[in-house]
Structure 1
Amino acid sequence: MNDAFHAVKPDDVGLSGERLARVDAWREALIRDGKLAGATTLVMRRGQVAHLGCSGLADMERGVAMTPDSILRIYSMTKPLTSVAIMMLYEEGRFQLDDPVTRFLPCFRDMRVFTGGSRGSFESVPAERDITFRDLLTHTAGLTYGFMQSTLVDAMYREQGVDFQTSDRSLGEVVELAASLPLLAQPGRAWNYSIATDVLGHLVAVISGQDFGDFMRQRIIAPLGMADTDFHVPEHKLPRFAACYARGQDGRPVLIDDPREGRFSAPRAICSGGGGLVSTVWDYARFCRFLLNKGELEGVRLLGRKTVELMMSNHLDGDMAAMGQARFSESTYTGIGFGLGFSVMLDPARAQILGTPGECAWGGAASTAFWVDPVEDMAVILLTQLMPSSTYPLRRELRVLTYQAITD
């Protein structure tokens, strides 16, 4: 058990140990059936760890077991930390949520919105207004991702190299490339999962005058005691770094990123605010506790209570189903809204899943997930390494298995 956490009996925090054992059975079956190489699950309630389980291998090729100290790619679970970074600057009075980002990034002036045509000759209209900070935080800026492969704008991103994971360009250069391409929708009109949080990372650097990666390490990661969280894995920690897999033709995991030789094994050209961090279950549990504590952890306060409450509020006009198109799998759409950096549960009945209104969540491309439930004072983390996250309905299954264990 990590020194910062105290293990308790589930019954001491209103959970059934017998029912929580279903999480272990589920996780172990996923390994036994060859769907996952390895996985870790953690359930925390009232600040205490009531469940922690690890199964399988972090690295099948080397026979390395999955443990609570294993380091994994969390991809889009980076986004909430980047959102905390920009909101720290918001609290310093550097900008307002409805301010246009052109105050700091003039490259986003005079944007145009794609309306039709082909890559060689597309049609567009002028944007009705500038993109705001709120648009970026809620993924309603009209930006997109190249990997979506759903629209011509996605294709333009791929052709022009708008990729914050693999590019050799600087963070600012890739942001400027994105700003040279048309928007997918008018700012504020539609929810589209996008590079918006990478743009926020660049804004953190521009507004603070500090390299984005350094800001994250010095002002968030270190103060929260997230000792193994970073944008790359140093050499002495590589033995703890998990391999990343995809589902093979026979249904079993196939290696797609070797932990000793992949791009996370050395410092990277871009620290991606949208998906660049690696972490451990212990480190992310500290971040979850920080959120549940409304911006404070062990005497260190990074955000005020009211700011965290604002982040955990739905900022969409309704749910994501009313404002977006289901083109990704980090969340369902119906009954789920979006706050400033993560999804927000609005109506569990409409979402057709156990949960609590006001619960915040997000996941990563390698099938990782977390959620924090302020009403139940509870957090759940799933760490594994299987791409894409749509391969199996792991998140929905784990939701049922954890919420059904509440007894008080």
Structure 2
Amino acid sequence: MQVETQPRAVGLCPDRLERVDSWMRGYVDSGRLAGLSVAVMRGGKTAFFRAHGHADLARQKPFAADTITRIYSMTKPLTSLAVLMLYEEGRFQLDDPVARFLTEFAEMRVMVGGNRAKLETVPALRPITIRDLLTHTSGLTYGFMEATLVDALYRAEAIDFQTSKLSLGELVGKLAQQPLLAQPGAEWNYSVATDVLGHLVAVVSGLDFAEFMRRRILRPLAMHDTDFSVPEDKQPRFAANYAFDREGALRLYDDSVDSKFLRTPPLASGGGGLVSTAGDYLRFCRLILNRGALDGVRLLGRKTVDLMLMNHLPGDLAAMGQPRFAESSYAGIGFGLGFSVMLDPAAAQIIGTPGEIAWGGVASTSFWIDPAEDMAVVLLAQLVPSSALPLRRELRVLTYAALVD
């Protein structure tokens, strides 16, 4: 990916953008990150792109413009895009029960108490809708939360879309046999809901989910390095993934030469299965900023994009129960159809713009799109978990501080 314009031409101060470069070098030089890249786009042009450090420390492989990384939950917005493309085709309404297509969700029950030996459940008061899945208000959860009895049940039953050897349909069927954490629509709980949406896309379209993504989204958008695995000829560009050891030093978490991402997975995870590059993901950001079209290809109508970017919660995340985890803060942040929506920067205690959308992945990747400023930022690193370093908040301040027009 190349810088396409001078920063001043799109209202960005080059001297202030250099603070981003210094910030990046600081993390690499201190040993807190192996490597990272940052791209800043405004007015449809890439005005800043830098990569520093190493994609693979053991092999001294530089982190480069075309380095391929695990983007994990940054897959979710692309899966949500697939759902809304089918919505525009008249295949369903957003308030349709998902059980209309996935009958295994027809008779859901909700946990209200009990213990590991015996959960107490009651019938769901209403069906889970497609919009519930898009907004994480379905009552589903993640096993890694380790906070509730339902989370524990997910772990015991191996409800894990990253590691399962089952097919997508088989694992979704197994998931539907577990109780819900909350009544549909009652709480915001980050969850495997987007993986269920991937299966919904497959059932409604008649295509394998991964093939739908390739045929209908990734190829039309020329996201040539984005897929559910890394082909052999691209392995040299694939980054290793790291974590901190007990002493705070980087240790290898997932190698670049024997990662499961180098093999076609048994199932394509709509919630976290993609690998991508900064340039590829910036093309998705451009699609959103262009309200559904890019380089002569239209995937969504502009009104549907507008609907995606609206907050679909009655308030912010903090008002929707007690979120156990999110790739964002809770106060001042709502949720649209596939990503967070900034409602109130003061409440969120971070610089930003109402209406800005964002999300991130567990390996310290993130993006945000600000329609009001016609701006997007993509950050790629490979460090788990994403909460290990305050990368997103710091980069947000540095990039917004460069706006001078």
The TM-score normalised by the length of structure 1 is 0.98
In the alignment, structure 2 segments of 5+ residues that lack a partner are none
CA distance in 1: counterparts of 2:330 and 2:346, whole angstroms: 13
Question: 2:288 aligns to what?
Answer: 291
Of 205, 212, 232, 1:215 maps to 212
Equivalent in the alignment of 1:47: 44
Alignment of 1:224-303 (within 5 A): 224-303=221-300
The corresponding residue for 1:407 is 404
Per-residue CA deviation, residues 353-394 of structure 1 (Å, 9 max, x unaligned), is 110010000000001000000000000010000000110111
Give the aligned partner of residue 124 of structure 1.
121
Partner of 1:340: 337
Give TM-score, length-normalised by structure 2.
0.99
Q: Corresponding residue for 1:18?
A: 15
Contact 1:36-1:252 within 8 A present in 2 as well: no
Unaligned runs of 5+ in 1: none
Q: Of the candidates 71, 75, 79, which is equivalent to residue 74 of structure 1?
A: 71
Identity percentage of aligned residues: 64
Q: Distance in 2 between matches of 1:134 and 1:79?
A: 14
Cα RMSD for the two superposed structures: 0.8
Distance across 1 between alignment mates of 2:380 and 2:65: 10
> How many angstroms apart in 2 are the aligned matches of 1:378 and 1:23?
16
How far apart in 2 are the matches of 1:324 and 1:7?
A: 44
Q: Which runs of 4+ in 1 moved over 4 A?
A: none
1:44 shift after superposition: 0.3
**Match in the other structure for 1:173:** 170
Q: Name the CA distance, whole Å, in 1 between partners of 2:323 and 2:244.
A: 22
2:358 is matched with 361
Q: For the Cα contact (< 8 Å) 1:57–1:65, is it kept in 2?
A: yes
* Cα distance in 2 for residues equivalent to 1:192 and 1:324: 8
One-letter code of the match for 1:199?
A: V
1:394 aligns with 2:394: no
Q: Distance in 2 between matches of 1:328 and 1:239?
A: 33
* 3-state DSSP of counterpart to 1:390: helix
What number of residue pairs does the alignment pair up? 405
Partner secondary structure for residue 110 of structure 1: coil
2:199 corresponds to which letter in structure 1? H
CA distance in 1 between counterparts of 2:322 and 2:51 reads 35
Quick check: 1:367–1:386 contact (8 Å CA) kept in 2? Answer: yes
Aligned mates of 2:322, 2:76 — CA distance in 1:
20
2:283 aligned partner, one-letter code: R
Whether 1:84 aligns to 2:81 is yes
Per-residue deviation, residues 123-160 of structure 1 (Å, max 9, x unmatched): 01110000000000000000000111111100100111
Q: CA deviation at 1:324?
A: 3.8
Matches of 1:209 and 1:119, distance apart in 2: 38
Other-structure match for 1:160: 157
